[in-house]
Amino acid sequence: MNDNQTNTIRKRYNRIAGVFDIMDNMIQETWRKDVTQQAEGKVLEIGIGTGKNLEYYPSHVEVTGIDFSPGMLKRAKEKANQLGRTFELLEMDAQNLAFPDNTFDTVITTCVFCSVPDPIKGLKEMKRVTKPTGKILMLEHMRSEHKLIGKLMDILNPIGLHIVGANINRKTIENIQHVGLKIAKEDLLMYDIFKTLVVSPNKNH
């Protein structure tokens, strides 16, 4: 996946930033709470988007959020200001995280790896910046393992990718395993399309 493709997807998210909160209502509030309330210590949220998770973080955690879309990030900063809490919100590409190895106790993603242009590269970066004793909490949608539903998602994928920049048929579980991350817990939220995952960075201590 080259820089031109990354820039194309970034532009699509910039374009829809103003209406993204409406589109993002497919992610239920209880799902967001369940994931963010498990955050501990120094937290990184990859793909902060318009900041819809910010209000649910425990007050005692230190949250850094990154997004490669300045349009989305602008709205996240507006939400942060309204909450009156301190969040570090940075423009950054999930495929090239500007943090040292083993920086974060908790890393969170919410329907992010459908739109990371090179998901393998993004997952490797996520693993790199997570402490060996840390955890990764993921709320993601992915390709159904049901034969007919999965095929339908394959057919419809080019439409969503063109309009929004998101893939609806990513094989995220396979990608996670490919980079050596270990799934400690997997819960189905909506059939086998939406899932929450607790993932270990699976590093040697």
User: pLDDT digits over 82-103, tens only?
Assistant: 998 999 999 999 999 999 999 9
CA neighbours within 13 Å on the CB side: how many for 29? 3
Within a 13 Å sphere around the CA of 42, how many CA atoms are in the beta-carbon half? 10
Between CA 62 and CA 65 the distance in angstroms is 10
User: By CB neighbour count within 10 A (0-12 exposed, 13-18 middle, 19+ buried), where does 115 fall?
Assistant: buried
Is residue 9 within 8 A of residue 115, CB to CB? The reply is yes
72 vs 16, which has greater pLDDT?
Answer: 72
pTM summary value: 0.83
CA 183 to chain CA centroid, nearest Å: 16
Q: What confidence tier does 128 reach under pLDDT thresholds 50, 70, 90?
A: very high
**pLDDT of 1 higher than 70:** no
Compute CA 167 distance to the chain's CA centroid, rounded to the nearest angstrom.
13
Band of pLDDT at residue 155, cut at 50, 70 and 90: confident
Tell me what the pLDDT averaged over the chain comes to.
Answer: 85
Cα 147 to its chain centre, rounded Å, is 26
In the predicted structure, residue 161 carries a pLDDT above the cut 80: no
Residue 135 has pLDDT above 60, yes or no: yes
Helix (H) or strand (E) holding 6: helix 3-16
pLDDT of residue 194: 86
Say which amino acid occupies 142.
Answer: M
Q: For the chain, what percent of residues have pLDDT higher than 70?
A: 82
Q: How many CA atoms lie within 13 A of 73 on its CB side?
A: 19
Taking residues 174-194, report their average pLDDT.
90
What's the confidence (pLDDT) of residue 64?
Answer: 98
129 to each of 18, 71, 78, 95, 158, how far by Cα in Å? Answer: 31, 25, 27, 12, 32
**pLDDT value at 4 more than 80:** no
Q: What is the model's pLDDT at position 17?
A: 43
Q: Which residues pair with 65 in a beta bridge?
A: 45, 89
Q: How many CB atoms lie within 10 A of CB 74?
A: 17
pLDDT value of residue 18: 42
- What architecture is domain 3-200? 3-Layer(aba) Sandwich (3.40)
Give the ranges where 17-118 is alpha helix by DSSP (H). 20-23, 29-36, 70-83
Does the pLDDT at position 71 exceed 60? yes
